[in-house]
Structure 1
Amino acid sequence: MQEKNKRYKILNTYVNAVSMEETIQMVEKIIEKGVPTQHVVVNASKVNLMEKDAELRKIVNSCPLINADGASIVWAAKKLGVPLNERVTGCDLFQELVKVAADKGYKIYLFGAKEEVVTKVKRIFEEQYPTLCIAGYRNGYFTEADEPEIVKAMAESGADMMFVAFSSPKKEYWVNRYLDQLNIPFVMGVGGSFDIVAGVTDRAPIWMQKHGLEWFYRFIQEPGRMWKRYIIGNAKFVALTYKYKRKAKKN
């Protein structure tokens, strides 16, 4: 536990118990420092993945800034006595950072999703923020042979922040593999956030977000695809939380 940095051990990972405003301040310091840094958010699904994937666990836990994306993490924090009062979702943080970039002159790079989606996201942000500088953008469809050229273009873009719209654990692995070559101070995985901004995927109403029911909204939208992640996955996460609670009591 590192109270100075508001960073706490939780389950098989860590979390920075910081607000949206504090997170943005930390990101600005990362950009000022200029050292390529990977950022992650954690939720029930990722914690479940990390329990059986040691390499993913190592990558996530090496990140200096880890935000609680899911209401599940806030729930687990209460059960485990971790002083985490709020979550900072990846989607909200992504959009707030784009706004900050427009205000402060940071250059951003958009990477991932289908070509029509990332192009639409670029257009939406340019319309919302006329002062925003988008240093580059690219869809998420490529072969391994394409990667050296893709990374080279990113490194030469002059971007201060890059947002990577892949699913987990692909985005964590990809960013970790190329982080030092990217020459971009802040690199954040944003999952399906491009689809939300582009209007491809609907986000849960605010009242559902506030009551931790965003997962249920996604489930009822795509039950056939999401039942395993949310029904089985949430049950696994609850069992995992109580496992760690029992372990803490023994210790």
Structure 2
Amino acid sequence: MTRLRLFDLPLDVITLDQTLDRLGEWIYRTPRAPHTVVTLNPEFIVQSRTQPDFVTVINQADLVTADGVGIVYAARQLAGTEVPRAPGMDIVRGLMERHGRDLRVFFLGAKPGVAETAAKNAADQYGIQVAGVHHGYFGPEEDQRVAELIRDSGAHLLLTGMGAGRQEIFNQYWRQVLNTPVMIGCGGVIDVLGGTAQLAPEWTRRMGVEFIWRIASDRRRWNRAPKLLQFVRLVQAQKRKQKA
């Protein structure tokens, strides 16, 4: 597997199927060992410019996949490399489809009640075992309690949906306590599974422009548009710097 560097952050050149193969190996490896997964998107890169802790945990991740088409664009412009996408939603669904009832999943994140609904829907649709659920509305003073709860659940897979930065930092900082084979910062995946957010239409996902659809269809996301513009400017500025 090739690992690129974009804006001082790692990016693994790995397909969705290869990602699912690798995570499947980690899930059932004996003895258990914790692994963190980051699904890199343009907002992460913009946010990391002002959050050194976020940069650190991304660099420490065991696997960093290209979540958004913006990352594919950046890799092409800055590294001259075509990077396949492995979005968080596709990774989560792929693992559940592949492993079904053999997979124990802990759902961490979203508003109170949403994780419970997401867990029930996932169990009904994919047959997975629900290792546990917990909402994402708690402060750092409760991190250890929640980490120990997840550890004691015996989960194979932890879905952490607490917002960019917070979810990755939680997974990495508490990884030894969590001792969960695969931990993914999955953003809005729990909301989608719980029915409180809509999955982008398939045609937008095939074209890699689902983020435009999400922003246009949800006023709560309009404040994210400036970050995408900032990302494009960062890429252009870095490309000019490399040519100089």
Query: Does 2:176 align with 1:154?
Result: no
- 1:41 touches 1:67 (CA, 8 Å); kept in 2? yes
Tell me the residue number matched to 1:243. 237
**What is the one-letter code of the residue matched to 2:194?**
A
Using the alignment, how far apart are the partners of 1:168 and 1:97 within structure 2? Answer: 22
- Give how far 1:150 is off: 2.1
Q: 1:227 to 1:141 in 2, by over 3 A?
A: closer
CA deviation vs aligned residue, 1:123-176 (integer Å, no higher than 9, x gap):
11121133x222111121234443333222211111111111111111112112
Using the alignment, how far apart are the partners of 2:143 and 2:83 within structure 1? Answer: 40
Instruction: From 168, 188, 200, give the equivalent of 1:172.
Output: 168
SS in 2 for 1:142: coil
Instruction: From 103, 119, 122, give the equivalent of 2:119.
Output: 122
Using the alignment, how far apart are the partners of 2:97 and 2:206 within structure 1? Answer: 22
Counting only pairs closer than 5 Å after superposition, residues 72-91 of structure 1 correspond to structure 2 as 72-91=70-89
- Give how far 1:93 is off: 0.8
CA deviation vs aligned residue, 1:97-140 (integer Å, no higher than 9, x gap):
1223316x23221111123211111111121133x222111121
Tell me the residue number matched to 2:205. 209
SS in 2 for 1:168: coil
CA deviation vs aligned residue, 1:172-198 (integer Å, no higher than 9, x gap):
121122111111111111111111122
Q: 1:227 to 1:186 in 2, by over 3 A?
A: same
Tell me the residue number matched to 1:58. 56
Q: 1:87 to 1:145 in 2, by over 3 A?
A: same
Tell me the residue number matched to 1:227. 222
**What is the one-letter code of the residue matched to 1:167?**
G
Normalised TM-score (structure 2)? 0.92
Using the alignment, how far apart are the partners of 1:196 and 1:71 within structure 2? Answer: 20
**Percent identity of equivalent pairs:** 24
- 1:101 touches 1:108 (CA, 8 Å); kept in 2? no
CA deviation vs aligned residue, 1:70-114 (integer Å, no higher than 9, x gap):
1101111121234234211111111111223316x2322111112
Query: Does 2:186 align with 1:190?
Result: yes
Tell me the residue number matched to 1:113. 110
CA deviation vs aligned residue, 1:5-25 (integer Å, no higher than 9, x gap):
221112331211111110011
Using the alignment, how far apart are the partners of 1:36 and 1:96 within structure 2? Answer: 20
Q: 1:167 to 1:143 in 2, by over 3 A?
A: closer
SS in 2 for 1:98: helix
**In the comparison of the two structures, how many residue pairs are matched?**
242
- 1:42 touches 1:70 (CA, 8 Å); kept in 2? yes
Unaligned runs of 5+ in 1: none
Counting only pairs closer than 5 Å after superposition, residues 24-103 of structure 1 correspond to structure 2 as 24-31=20-27, 32=29, 34-102=32-100
SS in 2 for 1:41: strand
Query: Does 2:10 align with 1:14?
Result: yes
Q: 1:52 to 1:206 in 2, by over 3 A?
A: same
Using the alignment, how far apart are the partners of 2:10 and 2:148 within structure 1? Answer: 32
Using the alignment, how far apart are the partners of 2:140 and 2:9 within structure 1? Answer: 30
Q: 1:220 to 1:39 in 2, by over 3 A?
A: same
SS in 2 for 1:115: coil
